[in-house]
Structure 1
């Protein structure tokens, strides 16, 4: 039974990882779409594109005529003289500049004919908050499904380990700052460790095994972090980690909506700090868990 639950955790974890890679706006692009990637800020896109155009991981000036949809992914595009789009403009973690306007969004869809008429931050008299509404509509269902998957994994881990991670809960409460810097140090040294594993003969298999083991331990660390947060906010709760998870989901969703609904960089910074702290705390306590596992094996 426990082995089956462990297998289920691995499957759910891989599915969660796949969710980060899936759901891109590029799914809507035509198969024959032209793609430009890795352009620097001094490069200019010119010519005629009879179909969809994808600009990815770039900073460039668009002076081309696109007779289809324009997809801008993780890029900053400035529309120069002569640049036009006959279809729609889709943005994913991108910024679009025109001569008068700026549109920055996590997810957005703007008619190509209206780009020049849209005012700063995606607002216009005819369609207020065009950019933010597109991002919010996309973010809410994605996030809710993500929370459900994460909760299932944490629930199974809590069922499997039970009282065997009680020492972690007590230890984490006494050495919070310590585990924060342990997690920070881990990510600083991680590139060197990966390089050393890859260059060895058994590097790839060991790297795969360690990645799966670390992923499980990271969920354990996340569970302990949520437990600590639940204890601080709801000290009398019987299952503090569930309340900690609800608190995490609320704050995460709120910051996500604010970041996708407005172009103010402060919301992106708050979200980055929030997620970074959780990851570092979870990593620090997960390394303690792995250390105890190795001691038991010996």
Structure 2
């Protein structure tokens, strides 16, 4: 199982790497989110490739994908769908919104109104749309990749804590290093476009891999380790909000995928440590005093992880 997953993931990474150069580790993490059907939040300044990464992942899967550009005037029904009246039949019918797809790219989600953000995040949680008393299930697998710019940009509506918690991971691409950026400029005329990528897997294979990853056994001491780290965030004096149980479940599932991409059928403490930042970083909130002292979520989580005893285990 793990070997097949590794082959698929390496093919996906190679495909996406044609568009997003020099970011293989970030691509791997993003694909771990995909392989657990956990939703992904990409947060960074404009021009670093957030939308390109999302489109490259979507085009690498032989499924359907749609893109929504969030703006303040976007309505909830523009996301979920709406009942429309058919004059020929004299009846109302449901017109599906863009959430009825395998991969949905929500571009600049923090520019949408809170009401519209909530409509998307409800579908992310329930994986269905209810309209006129009828529930309509979205396709599986269903994966949302949302992008947003930092909160200090004008004209944005920051996602509330409870809505951030529904994203399995938050990643930042950052600027390319010097050599990579030079190679991008030199190869600009030849560079692969994200909308020209050929799919390297299909939804049936992806769905089977997701199911198998969920069945990877994890040692009790790994479960205990995850909960100890989460508990430490809840008790830390510099945090006003710690990690929820949803967060620990997300870390468990992502850790399984992370292990499988490394051709292992067991999770190690190093897997957990590598994922604490991307999975827990957007789920904690610092106190005002900690922010004034210049603390940030990543460094605080690193300190917490260093203080929690690492279990000794040889496998699953």
Could you say which structure has the greater relative contact order, defined with CA pairs below 8 angstroms and 6 or more residues apart? 2
- Between Structure 1 and Structure 2, the one with more helix by share is 1
Larger radius of gyration: 1
Asked if these proteins are the same fold (TM beyond 0.5), I'd say no
Structure-2-length-normalised TM-score:
0.23
TM-score of the superposition, structure 1-length normalised? 0.24
